[in-house]
Amino acid sequence: MNKTIRYAMLLAGMTSLPAMAHIGYGGRDFGSFDGTLGASQTIANQSATGNFGWIDGTDADWGDSHRLRAYRFTLTEDATVNISFQAQVFTPAPTEANPNPTAVEGGLIPGFSLYAGLAHVAPFGADHDGGAGSVAIRDAIAGAGNTEGSFRALTDWAITNDNNDPASQFTYIGHIYDGLGVDYGTGLIAGADGVADQYVSRTFSLAAGDYSIFVGGADYANQDILPLLPYGVSGTVAVVPEPEAYAMLLAGLGLMGAMVRRRAGRG
Ligand SMILES: [Ca+2]
Ligand SMILES: [Ca+2]
Ligand SMILES: [Ca+2]
């Protein structure tokens, strides 16, 4: 579609929505974990606007971070964590501006990327795609006017606030998205989980530090469907055994099984 027409349609869609939130973690901080196995935190009743925010950050013109939700967590020690997100239907709490909210859409096709690093948090101003500093960061890499936003799902990216504070750096660690895989003309986007069940889960072995997760939809074609609706999502971060330890445990169980069988055979 002609870029100008698409932009006009986007603007038309935005006027019917509440004010767009810049990048923030309010209500979406999974908290702090040490290496204690089994520690876990779930955050439900969140929503992303539109069902395409994540996959739109895999293409040549990058993506708009307003179409995703940012989450954070902290590891005080090295740990292996499982991160999962799934579609969720819920009715938002009433507010003064919206005393009778309707239920969110339940059809989120989730995708997420994990990064080391955090966006600016208070007392600093919130990061957003439209500020002069953020545009300058993008133009320096992709050329002037070649991007629709700062979000990149498959690699590092950076963004800043209206005060031009030193940029927030997101160092890419990994990603996953729901379903059999999307190809919008440039080949299959790697990282589909192979099961279209509106659920994604991936395990990462991480060093101590601060992490951001950006979650959004993976329905590339959906970005032309207006108005943009909120799609509900629930997510969990859990400390799990290292893959190596888990493999050793399974091998150990297998060995015990063999010994038991041999003993039984002798009897
Ligand atoms: Ca894009
Ligand atoms: Ca787009
Ligand atoms: Ca899945």
Q: Note the ligand closest to the C-alpha atom of 221.
A: 2
With cut-offs at 50, 70 and 90, classify the pLDDT of residue 257: confident
In the sheet where 168-177 sits, what is the strand order? Answer: 29-33, 69-75, 209-217, 110-116, 168-177, 157-159
Ligand 1 centroid–CA 223 distance in Å is 9
Spatial CB neighbours of 64, under 8 Å, sequence gap ≥ 6: 53, 56, 129, 148, 149, 150, 151
Spatial CB neighbours of 20, under 8 Å, sequence gap ≥ 6: 14, 49, 66
In the sheet where 40-49 sits, what is the strand order? Answer: 40-49, 230-240, 79-87, 199-206
Q: Which domains does the chain have, with CATH numbers?
A: 4-242 (2.60.120.380)
Mean pLDDT over 203-213 rounds to 98
Contact call for residues 237 and 82 (beta carbons, < 8 A): yes
Ligand 1 centroid–CA 249 distance in Å is 43
Ligand 1 centroid–CA 11 distance in Å is 16
pLDDT surpassing 70 at residue 17: no
More confident: 113 or 247: 113
pLDDT at 228: 94
Q: Note the ligand closest to the C-alpha atom of 197.
A: 3
Ligand 3 centroid–CA 100 distance in Å is 32
